Structure 1
Amino acid sequence: MNYADFWFKLDRLVAASNLKIDRPKGSLHPRYSSFVYPLDYGYLEDTRSGDKSDIDVWIGSLSSRTITAVICSVDLEKRDTEIKILLGCTSEESQVILDIHNTGSQSAILLVRAEVVVVGA
Protein backbone atom coordinates (compact mmCIF):
# COMPACT_ATOMS: atom_id res chain seq x y z
CA MET A 1 0.00 0.00 0.00
CA ASN A 2 1.24 3.44 -0.86
CA TYR A 3 -0.41 5.70 1.73
CA ALA A 4 1.69 8.67 0.62
CA ASP A 5 -0.03 8.54 -2.77
CA PHE A 6 -3.45 8.91 -1.11
CA TRP A 7 -2.37 12.08 0.73
CA PHE A 8 -0.55 13.40 -2.36
CA LYS A 9 -3.71 13.08 -4.46
CA LEU A 10 -5.81 14.75 -1.77
CA ASP A 11 -3.23 17.58 -1.66
CA ARG A 12 -3.57 17.98 -5.42
CA LEU A 13 -7.36 18.03 -5.21
CA VAL A 14 -7.31 20.74 -2.52
CA ALA A 15 -4.67 22.77 -4.37
CA ALA A 16 -6.67 22.66 -7.61
CA SER A 17 -9.95 23.66 -5.92
CA ASN A 18 -11.39 26.92 -4.68
CA LEU A 19 -12.07 26.74 -0.95
CA LYS A 20 -15.33 28.41 0.03
CA ILE A 21 -16.00 29.06 3.73
CA ASP A 22 -19.76 29.31 4.07
CA ARG A 23 -20.02 28.73 7.83
CA PRO A 24 -17.43 30.76 9.76
CA LYS A 25 -16.35 29.81 13.26
CA GLY A 26 -19.02 30.88 15.73
CA SER A 27 -21.89 30.84 13.22
CA LEU A 28 -25.10 28.87 13.76
CA HIS A 29 -26.08 25.85 11.70
CA PRO A 30 -28.82 26.82 9.21
CA ARG A 31 -31.20 24.01 10.32
CA TYR A 32 -30.04 23.24 13.87
CA SER A 33 -29.84 26.58 15.68
CA SER A 34 -28.38 25.03 18.83
CA PHE A 35 -25.24 23.99 16.90
CA VAL A 36 -22.45 26.57 16.78
CA TYR A 37 -19.53 25.91 14.44
CA PRO A 38 -16.35 25.56 16.54
CA LEU A 39 -14.13 26.13 13.47
CA ASP A 40 -14.49 27.53 9.98
CA TYR A 41 -16.40 25.09 7.78
CA GLY A 42 -16.78 25.10 4.04
CA TYR A 43 -16.28 23.11 0.90
CA LEU A 44 -14.17 22.66 -2.22
CA GLU A 45 -16.06 24.14 -5.15
CA ASP A 46 -16.74 21.91 -8.16
CA THR A 47 -15.96 18.65 -6.35
CA ARG A 48 -18.26 15.76 -5.46
CA SER A 49 -18.79 13.97 -2.15
CA GLY A 50 -20.92 11.00 -1.15
CA ASP A 51 -23.94 13.24 -0.54
CA LYS A 52 -23.66 14.58 -4.11
CA SER A 53 -22.56 17.99 -2.77
CA ASP A 54 -19.10 19.52 -2.81
CA ILE A 55 -16.46 17.98 -0.52
CA ASP A 56 -16.69 19.42 3.00
CA VAL A 57 -13.68 20.99 4.70
CA TRP A 58 -12.98 21.96 8.32
CA ILE A 59 -10.29 24.65 8.77
CA GLY A 60 -8.30 24.67 11.99
CA SER A 61 -6.09 27.19 13.74
CA LEU A 62 -2.69 26.11 12.40
CA SER A 63 -1.11 28.67 10.07
CA SER A 64 -0.42 25.97 7.50
CA ARG A 65 -3.49 24.94 5.54
CA THR A 66 -2.16 21.48 4.82
CA ILE A 67 -4.33 18.40 5.15
CA THR A 68 -3.90 17.07 8.67
CA ALA A 69 -6.64 14.42 8.65
CA VAL A 70 -9.76 13.12 6.98
CA ILE A 71 -13.02 12.11 8.63
CA CYS A 72 -15.00 9.29 7.06
CA SER A 73 -18.61 9.31 8.21
CA VAL A 74 -21.78 7.32 7.79
CA ASP A 75 -25.23 8.72 8.54
CA LEU A 76 -27.98 6.12 8.83
CA GLU A 77 -30.74 8.74 8.86
CA LYS A 78 -29.57 10.31 5.59
CA ARG A 79 -28.40 6.91 4.30
CA ASP A 80 -25.10 8.32 3.06
CA THR A 81 -21.39 8.28 3.60
CA GLU A 82 -18.90 11.05 2.97
CA ILE A 83 -15.52 12.43 3.85
CA LYS A 84 -14.57 15.70 5.48
CA ILE A 85 -11.10 17.10 4.87
CA LEU A 86 -9.38 18.74 7.84
CA LEU A 87 -6.98 21.55 6.95
CA GLY A 88 -4.53 22.89 9.53
CA CYS A 89 -6.28 21.25 12.48
CA THR A 90 -4.55 20.51 15.77
CA SER A 91 -5.09 17.15 17.48
CA GLU A 92 -7.56 18.78 19.86
CA GLU A 93 -9.50 20.39 17.00
CA SER A 94 -9.57 17.08 15.13
CA GLN A 95 -11.05 15.39 18.21
CA VAL A 96 -13.75 18.08 18.54
CA ILE A 97 -14.71 17.58 14.89
CA LEU A 98 -14.71 13.80 15.26
CA ASP A 99 -17.00 14.09 18.29
CA ILE A 100 -19.43 16.23 16.24
CA HIS A 101 -19.64 13.51 13.58
CA ASN A 102 -20.21 10.78 16.18
CA THR A 103 -23.64 11.94 17.36
CA GLY A 104 -27.16 10.76 16.70
CA SER A 105 -27.45 8.58 13.61
CA GLN A 106 -23.90 9.44 12.54
CA SER A 107 -20.71 7.50 13.11
CA ALA A 108 -17.24 8.50 11.98
CA ILE A 109 -13.56 7.62 12.10
CA LEU A 110 -10.55 9.90 11.87
CA LEU A 111 -7.67 9.16 9.51
CA VAL A 112 -4.70 11.19 10.73
CA ARG A 113 -1.92 12.06 8.33
CA ALA A 114 1.40 10.85 9.67
CA GLU A 115 4.24 13.32 9.67
CA VAL A 116 6.92 12.53 7.12
CA VAL A 117 10.31 12.17 8.73
CA VAL A 118 13.28 12.60 6.38
CA VAL A 119 16.33 10.80 7.74
CA GLY A 120 19.69 12.38 7.02
CA ALA A 121 18.27 15.67 5.76
Structure 2
Amino acid sequence: MNSYDILGKMVTVTVDRPLGTYHPRHKSIYYTVNYGYVEGIIAGDGADQDAYILGVDEPVKSFTGKVIAVVHRLDDVEDKWIVVPEDIILKEEDIKNAVNFQEQFFTTKYFCLYK
Protein backbone atom coordinates (compact mmCIF):
# COMPACT_ATOMS: atom_id res chain seq x y z
CA MET A 1 0.00 0.00 0.00
CA ASN A 2 1.29 3.44 -0.92
CA SER A 3 1.89 5.59 2.18
CA TYR A 4 -0.44 8.29 0.85
CA ASP A 5 -3.33 5.86 0.24
CA ILE A 6 -4.11 5.41 3.94
CA LEU A 7 -4.02 9.12 4.86
CA GLY A 8 -7.44 10.38 5.94
CA LYS A 9 -8.89 6.89 6.41
CA MET A 10 -10.59 5.75 9.62
CA VAL A 11 -9.10 2.70 11.37
CA THR A 12 -9.48 0.90 14.68
CA VAL A 13 -6.33 0.33 16.73
CA THR A 14 -6.08 -2.42 19.34
CA VAL A 15 -3.73 -1.08 22.01
CA ASP A 16 -1.10 -3.48 23.31
CA ARG A 17 1.21 -0.83 24.79
CA PRO A 18 -0.92 1.71 26.64
CA LEU A 19 0.25 5.19 27.49
CA GLY A 20 2.37 5.04 30.64
CA THR A 21 3.85 1.57 30.09
CA TYR A 22 7.28 0.30 29.07
CA HIS A 23 8.30 -1.62 25.96
CA PRO A 24 8.09 -5.36 26.70
CA ARG A 25 11.68 -6.08 25.53
CA HIS A 26 13.41 -2.69 25.68
CA LYS A 27 12.66 -1.58 29.23
CA SER A 28 14.17 1.89 28.73
CA ILE A 29 11.45 2.83 26.21
CA TYR A 30 8.53 4.46 28.03
CA TYR A 31 5.32 4.94 26.04
CA THR A 32 4.16 8.54 26.26
CA VAL A 33 1.31 7.70 23.85
CA ASN A 34 -0.94 4.70 23.27
CA TYR A 35 0.50 2.23 20.74
CA GLY A 36 -0.96 -0.81 19.09
CA TYR A 37 -1.94 -2.44 15.83
CA VAL A 38 -4.63 -2.44 13.15
CA GLU A 39 -5.85 -5.99 12.92
CA GLY A 40 -6.03 -7.50 9.45
CA ILE A 41 -3.65 -5.03 7.77
CA ILE A 42 -0.32 -6.80 7.30
CA ALA A 43 2.80 -4.63 7.62
CA GLY A 44 6.28 -5.11 6.18
CA ASP A 45 7.32 -7.32 9.08
CA GLY A 46 4.49 -9.79 8.40
CA ALA A 47 2.54 -8.77 11.53
CA ASP A 48 -0.47 -6.47 11.89
CA GLN A 49 0.13 -2.80 11.06
CA ASP A 50 1.49 -0.81 14.04
CA ALA A 51 0.05 2.56 14.98
CA TYR A 52 0.67 5.39 17.40
CA ILE A 53 -2.42 7.09 18.84
CA LEU A 54 -1.96 10.82 19.40
CA GLY A 55 -4.41 13.27 20.96
CA VAL A 56 -5.68 10.80 23.57
CA ASP A 57 -4.31 11.59 27.03
CA GLU A 58 -5.31 8.45 28.92
CA PRO A 59 -4.58 4.74 28.48
CA VAL A 60 -7.12 3.00 26.22
CA LYS A 61 -7.65 -0.59 25.07
CA SER A 62 -9.00 0.25 21.62
CA PHE A 63 -9.40 3.42 19.58
CA THR A 64 -11.04 4.37 16.29
CA GLY A 65 -9.57 7.42 14.60
CA LYS A 66 -8.16 8.97 11.45
CA VAL A 67 -4.74 8.18 9.99
CA ILE A 68 -3.02 11.55 9.55
CA ALA A 69 0.55 10.40 8.93
CA VAL A 70 2.78 7.48 8.08
CA VAL A 71 6.23 7.17 9.63
CA HIS A 72 8.32 5.38 7.01
CA ARG A 73 11.41 3.79 8.51
CA LEU A 74 14.21 3.86 5.96
CA ASP A 75 16.31 1.40 7.96
CA ASP A 76 13.56 -1.05 8.94
CA VAL A 77 10.93 -3.15 7.15
CA GLU A 78 7.84 -1.54 8.60
CA ASP A 79 5.99 1.76 8.70
CA LYS A 80 4.05 3.17 11.64
CA TRP A 81 0.69 4.90 11.24
CA ILE A 82 -0.29 7.99 13.24
CA VAL A 83 -3.94 7.85 14.31
CA VAL A 84 -5.84 10.70 15.99
CA PRO A 85 -9.40 11.67 16.93
CA GLU A 86 -11.21 12.72 13.76
CA ASP A 87 -11.28 16.43 14.63
CA ILE A 88 -7.57 16.81 15.53
CA ILE A 89 -5.03 18.37 13.17
CA LEU A 90 -1.35 17.82 13.91
CA LYS A 91 1.54 19.03 11.78
CA GLU A 92 4.67 17.03 11.02
CA GLU A 93 6.80 18.67 13.72
CA ASP A 94 4.19 17.91 16.42
CA ILE A 95 4.01 14.29 15.27
CA LYS A 96 7.79 13.92 15.27
CA ASN A 97 8.01 15.28 18.80
CA ALA A 98 5.28 12.93 20.05
CA VAL A 99 6.82 9.73 18.67
CA ASN A 100 10.49 10.59 19.11
CA PHE A 101 10.70 8.43 22.27
CA GLN A 102 10.83 5.42 19.93
CA GLU A 103 11.51 6.78 16.42
CA GLN A 104 14.79 8.41 17.55
CA PHE A 105 16.43 5.03 16.98
CA PHE A 106 15.51 4.93 13.27
CA THR A 107 16.03 6.98 10.12
CA THR A 108 12.54 8.08 9.11
CA LYS A 109 10.55 9.95 6.51
CA TYR A 110 7.11 11.33 7.34
CA PHE A 111 4.11 11.35 4.99
CA CYS A 112 1.54 13.71 6.53
CA LEU A 113 -2.03 14.70 5.75
CA TYR A 114 -1.41 18.19 7.15
CA LYS A 115 1.78 20.09 6.30
TM over 0.5: yes
Match of 1:54 in 2: 48
Match of 1:11 in 2: 9
Give the one of 33, 43, 49 matched to 1:39.
33
Name the TM-score, length of structure 2 as normaliser.
0.71
Match of 1:26 in 2: 20
Gaps of 5+ in 1: 116-121
SS in 1 for 2:72: strand
Q: Deviations over 1:27-60 (max 9, x none)?
A: 0000111110110000011221011110001001
Q: How many residues align?
A: 101
Name the TM-score, length of structure 1 as normaliser.
0.68
Q: Higher relative contact order at CA 8 Å, sep ≥6: structure 1 or structure 2?
A: 2
Match of 2:112 in 1: 112
**How far is 1:98 from its partner?**
4.7
Identity of aligned residues (%): 26
The answer to which structure has the higher strand fraction is 2
Gaps of 5+ in 2: 57-63
Runs of 4+ in 1 over 4 A off after TM superposition: none
SS in 1 for 2:43: coil
1:46-85 alignment runs, 5 A limit: 46-61=40-55, 65-75=65-75, 80-85=76-81
